[in-house]
Amino acid sequence: MSFQETAALIERFLNHESLYPQEWNDFVETSQSSKKVDQFRRRCYELVLLVNSPDIPDTAALEELRSMVDRLRAETS
C-alpha cells in the first residue's frame, strides 16, 4: 500500500466507513512491502484492542490514529 492508501484506510476505519467488514483486520494482519508503511501498520496492530472493542474506544489511541493519517498524507515517498 502507498502512504495515501494507508491514510485513507485508517480514515475509513475511524469514520466507520470500511469498504468491507474485515478491511481493518486484513490491514493490521498483513505485512506491507514498504518498511515505512509497515511501521504504521504494526503500530495500528498494537492499538487494535484499544480502538476496536465493544467498549468505549481509548481516546488517546484514536488521536494517535488521526495523527497517523496526517503524517501519512504528508509523506511523499
- Name 21's Cβ contacts closer than 8 Å, sequence gap at least 6: none
CA 52 to chain centre: 11
- The ranges assigned to domains in the chain are 3-74
Q: Tell which phi-psi region holds residue 75, choosing left (phi > 0), alpha (psi between -120 and 50) or beta.
A: beta
Phi-psi region of 52 (alpha: psi -120 to 50; beta: other; left: phi over 0): beta
Q: pLDDT tier at 77 (50, 70, 90 boundaries)?
A: low
Q: How far out from the chain centre does Cα 4 lie?
A: 11
Q: What is the pLDDT of residues 34-73, one digit of tens each?
A: 999 999 999 999 998 898 878 888 999 999 999 999 999 9
Residue-wise pLDDT for 15-35, tens only, equals: 999 999 999 999 999 999 999
